[in-house]
Structure 1
Amino acid sequence: MDVNGKSVLLTGGSAGIGREIARQLKAKGAKVTLTGRDPARLAAMEAEGFAVIAADLSHPAGVDALVAALGDRPIDVLINNAGLGVPHDVRNGAPDPDAADGCLYANLSAPVRLITALLPALRARPQAAIINVTSGLAIAPNTASSVYCASKAGLRSYTMALRAQLRSEPIQVIEALPPVVDTQMTADRKMRKLSPQECARQIIAALENGLDEANVGMVKVLRAVYSLSPALARRIMLSF
């Protein structure tokens, strides 16, 4: 897909990977509407020339408010990038079930609900695309982030099924699987991280080149290991 002139809705676009996707798409001529929860960050992106919508996608009302705010504007590309990460490790005491619910909703239910609501608008375009941002942890989970891993694995399965459902239509369905990226969510992790700029570049390249998956950075290695031995890939990841 040539993104020049395309209208893009990008959730979670005011920071991290989403902010870099927005900037790189805008540089290529796309018209980007982005969502976020932080008023200051949204104002900063609006000052850069983006259309912005305040949206908390961790509950149904937030998704419905976003759809209402969009109205009947055309959408060529929907990028479900917004997500939450929460600690959920029973070895450290009882996890917060409400935090788990918010994570599951933001990472899985909100994309499903948003796609369902916006599919008529996407079908009205001669060429369209849906990008669901999951994680390398959707392939094999780690130990400490069990709820986050489950939500991303669920979105991965949904994306595969959706792609099959839309195979005969001019709607490209892409799964983007980032590794650990240097964002606010991973600020406390002392490990090698990919830059959000490079992660965004690889995701956009998948869109431009018509790929079904963007296995970003070290996720390519994980995918290779998983293809040889799923059990080995799980053992490696569960050691973290």
Structure 2
Amino acid sequence: MRIAGKKVLLTGGSAGIGREIARQLRAKGAQVAITGRDKARLDAMRDEGFEAIEADLSNAHGVDALIADLGTREIDILINNAGQGVDHDFRVSLPDPDAVDACIYANLDAPIRLITALVPMLGRRPEAAIVNVTSGLAIAPRAGSPVYCATKAGLRSYTMALRAQLADTNILVVEALPPVVDTQMTARLNGNKMPPQECAAQIVDAIESDSPEANVGQVKLLRWVYSLSPALARRMMLRF
């Protein structure tokens, strides 16, 4: 897919991976509108020249408000990148069910709702793409983040089925599976973390090359292990 001239809606684009995707797409000639919740970060992106839309995608009201704001605007590429984690470890404390609901909505319901609203318009564009950012944890979960892993696994399954449904249309469906990336969400985690710039570059490359799946960084290794032995891959990841 040719990036230059494309009109992009990128959710969760004010920080981390999303911010770097926005910058790299614009450098290739795309017109990028981003969403986010943090006013200061949105203002910073506006200072960089991006259109920045305040939107809380952790509930139906916020998603519907975003869809209403978009109106009939033309979009060529929808990137569902917004997501959030949630503490859900009974070994530590009793989880907060309301926080769990917000995580599930932001990570799974919101992308499905946005796709449902925008597919008719995307289908009228000369070429279009839907990019869903899941995670290597969609392949094999870690014990400490069961809800986050479940939402990403759910979005992975949805993306695979959506790709089959849209196979004979002009809409490319891409799944991006990042490893642990150095972002605010992973600040409490130790170990090696991929720079967000590098992660974004691999995702943008997948869009340009019409790749249905972008296994980023160490996720390539996880996919290889999973292809040999799903049970081994699960045992490896459940230790964390």
TM over 0.5: yes
Q: Please provide the CA RMSD for this pair.
A: 0.5
The code of the aligned residue for 1:172 comes to L
TM-score w.r.t. length of structure 1: 0.99
**2-side partners of 1:80 and 1:64: how far apart?**
15
Identity of paired residues, percent? 70
Instruction: Give CA deviations for 1:39-92 in whole Å, capped at 9, x if unaligned.
Output: 110011011111111000000000001011111110000000000001101122
Instruction: Provide structure 2 residue ranges, at least 5 long, that are not aligned to the other structure.
Output: none
Map 1:14-29 onto structure 2 (within 5 A).
14-29=14-29
* Paired positions, count: 240
**1-side partners of 2:66 and 2:152: how far apart?**
22
Structure 1 position 197 matched with structure 2 position 200: no
Which residue in the other structure is 1:106 paired with? 106
The code of the aligned residue for 2:143 comes to T
Which residue in the other structure is 1:181 paired with? 181
Which residue in the other structure is 2:120 paired with? 120
User: Secondary structure at 2:91's aligned position in 1?
Assistant: helix
Which residue in the other structure is 1:210 paired with? 210
Instruction: Give CA deviations for 1:183-223 in whole Å, capped at 9, x if unaligned.
Output: 01111112100000000000000000010100000000000
Stretches of 4+ aligned residues off by more than 3 angstroms:
none
Map 1:1-240 onto structure 2 (within 5 A).
1-240=1-240
**2-side partners of 1:71 and 1:138: how far apart?**
32
**2-side partners of 1:26 and 1:210: how far apart?**
18
Q: Deviation of residue 93 (structure 1)?
A: 2.7
**1-side partners of 2:121 and 2:170: how far apart?**
13
User: Secondary structure at 2:67's aligned position in 1?
Assistant: helix
Instruction: Provide structure 1 residue ranges, at least 5 long, that are not aligned to the other structure.
Output: none
**2-side partners of 1:130 and 1:165: how far apart?**
13
TM-score w.r.t. length of structure 2: 0.99
